[in-house]
Structure 1
Amino acid sequence: MDSEINAELRILEFGCDPSEITKCLNLQPTSTWVKGEIVSKTGKGILRHQENGWAWCSNLDSEEKVLDFRDLFDDIFRNLNPIKDKFQYLPNNSVIQLACCAYIRNCAPAFTLDERIIKLLAEINASVDFDIYCLNASE
């Protein structure tokens, strides 16, 4: 596996069915889950979701290999900026997060949050979560 990156908008901790988030934003999620749903089963037991969740990934994640977060953020901006006013109608307890993940091998991806993305994240009251995994050549 070469280096890979992805970015997704997550809405968490709301009390309603995830389909209500989809209706509110008029945006089809990439994935949804409900509290208690099984995430995975291992030899150590069953891991379950601890909260309701709704996620939308940048379309670029599946279309082509992207190694620059700016490309993903541009796609997120194009899709979310026109609907940013709808975020105010989400359930009160909703937590909004831009989740970014990088699996790094051989080359490091570019990561820049330009002023458009920072302003959009502030307007929808979103935080940023960034995970970096440095992989060995054998992984």
Structure 2
Amino acid sequence: MEEYKDISYRFCFTIFSKEVYEVADITETLGLTPTSTWIKDPAQSKPLYRDYSFWKYQSEELFDPILEDVFINYFSPLESRLELISTLLAKDNLTCKIFILVKIHSGNSMPGIHVDWTLAAKLAAIKCNLDFDIYDFR
């Protein structure tokens, strides 16, 4: 069977703080290794200055015809930690967001994007925003 290369996805779960925040605390609490982190540093000059701290857990670029299948696999390590995430967010006044980058490389169709109510409820329980970015490179 030919390898699927029409549409790719990249998932990114990010926890943000508007304050200087020790992001290593997130790593320790969740027991997950982040893809990248940033600690707000008011002394940092532009253009590198960011007015927030963040902790990012990101997937590689994944090729699959069905977004939901890929999302479920990506989300499973987070799902078992939702209570920890919720407690951490509330205790330290943090926010979280899931970014989903969709790239259309070839083919004649657009991806269907569907968020199952059970997933939506889990994201809502931790007040997690969901952001889709879709790029058509055909």
Aligned pair partner of 2:29 in 24, 33, 40: 24
C-alpha separation in 2, matches of 1:66 and 1:33: 30
Aligned pair partner of 1:69 in 67, 70, 88: 67
C-alpha separation in 2, matches of 1:26 and 1:66: 28
Runs of 4+ off more than 4 Å? none
Q: Which runs of structure 2 are paired with 1:9-20 in the superposition (5 Å)?
A: 9-13=13-17, 15=19, 16-20=21-25
Relative to structure 1, is the Cα distance of residues 67 and 18 closer, same or farther in structure 2, using a 3 angstrom cutoff?
A: farther
Residue identity opposite 1:82 in structure 2: S
TM-score, normalised on structure 1?
0.74
C-alpha separation in 2, matches of 1:76 and 1:56: 10
Stretch deviating more after TM superposition (122-131 or 45-54): 45-54
Relative to structure 1, is the Cα distance of residues 27 and 104 closer, same or farther in structure 2, using a 3 angstrom cutoff?
A: same
- Deviations 1:7-53 (Å, cap 9, x if unpaired)? 1111112532111111122222121112259xxxxxxx834333111
Q: Which runs of structure 2 are paired with 1:79-94 in the superposition (5 Å)?
A: 79-90=77-88, 91-94=91-94
Relative to structure 1, is the Cα distance of residues 14 and 27 closer, same or farther in structure 2, using a 3 angstrom cutoff?
A: farther
Aligned to 2:52: 51
Is 1:106–2:106 an aligned residue pair? yes
Percent of aligned pairs sharing the same letter? 25
Does structure 2 conserve the Cα–Cα contact (< 8 Å) formed by 1:96 and 1:126?
Answer: yes
Residue identity opposite 2:23 in structure 1: P
C-alpha separation in 1, matches of 2:12 and 2:38: 15
C-alpha separation in 2, matches of 1:49 and 1:14: 10
Does structure 1 conserve the Cα–Cα contact (< 8 Å) formed by 2:7 and 2:63?
Answer: no
Relative to structure 1, is the Cα distance of residues 127 and 66 closer, same or farther in structure 2, using a 3 angstrom cutoff?
A: same
Unmatched segments (≥5 aa) in structure 2: none
RMSD: 2.6
Stretch deviating more after TM superposition (86-95 or 19-28): 86-95
